[in-house]
Structure 1
Amino acid sequence: MTATQSKTKKLAMGPEDVATIEDRGGEIHVLISPTSVGSTKMIMGTATVPVGGKVLQHAHPHSEECFYVLRGEGKIVFEDGEVPFQAGQAVLTPQGQAHSIFNTGEAEILVVFASGPLAPSPKEGHIILEQED
């Protein structure tokens, strides 16, 4: 057994090890999850949003979500206001709060995100509230 593997699952994951999710705006790689490494309390991954792009309005009914901005700048829009962010900042989305993310800068946004606790099922963890234009 190596340092990157447990008895049953790989413990170190990269974007090449998981599917790319593209139906929410931007690209998402869920690196740490129950299916990828057997996590039981949270998920973690990376997301990008292209220049001028947005992540569709959605909510996480069972979880808080946070992300750390590695590159770019934008705003997260809640029902009662918006919060600008830039590289070097962390952002918290409270459990159940509907939100969307807009890239307002001149570079692609790259974030590392985490969310927990887990929803009863993946489908219940991320509820899309709007459709693409």
Structure 2
Amino acid sequence: MIKRANEMSVTLEPHLKGGDGTTRVVNILEPNEMHGTGRLFGISIIPVGGSIGQHTHAGDFETYYILKGKAEVNDNGNIQELGPGDMTHCKDGDFHSIRNIGDIDLEYVAVILYSETKKEEAN
């Protein structure tokens, strides 16, 4: 499969998980293209001052890989500043949030895959 940039769907998520502003998600793969392994593989773009609110992962886990900008991440209570090339991983059962603390859009790869528990329930 090959997709051109203009063929990828874009989702607008206002106040995602109780956060500020509208997060834009470029869906590299649609959930049905992930063959039951997960529900998100995309580029998330958070505007200056925007955020995704604190939330807990249940039945899945999420990884962010920062491409552009400056983020403040709450990783299960551990607050850290991240920039391009940094990553954060939220395990099943843990919580996290992310805020754009820079002066340009924050862009990062976001991947949500199902945990073994969720996969077993699906079978």
Match of 2:74 among 70, 73, 77: 77
Larger radius of gyration: 1
Contact 2:8 2:27 in 1 (8 A): no
Structure 1 equivalent of residue 93 of structure 2? 96
Match in the other structure for 2:9: 18
Q: CA deviation at 1:104?
A: 1.1
TM-score (norm 2): 0.73
Q: Distance in 2 between matches of 1:22 and 1:94?
A: 23
Give the alignment partner of residue 35 of structure 2, picking from 34, 39, 43: 39
Where in structure 2 are there 5+ consecutive unaligned residues?
A: 17-21, 119-123
CA distance in 1, matches of 2:23, 2:66: 14
Return the offset for 1:111: 0.4
The alignment-based identity, stated in percent, is 22
Larger helix share, 1 or 2: 2
Letter of the structure 1 residue corresponding to residue 35 of structure 2: S
Report the alpha carbon displacement of residue 61 of structure 1 after superposing the two structures with TM: 0.7
Structure 2 matches for 1:60-75, cutoff 5 A? 60-75=57-72
Aligned CA-pair RMSD: 2.4
Q: Which has the higher strand share?
A: 2
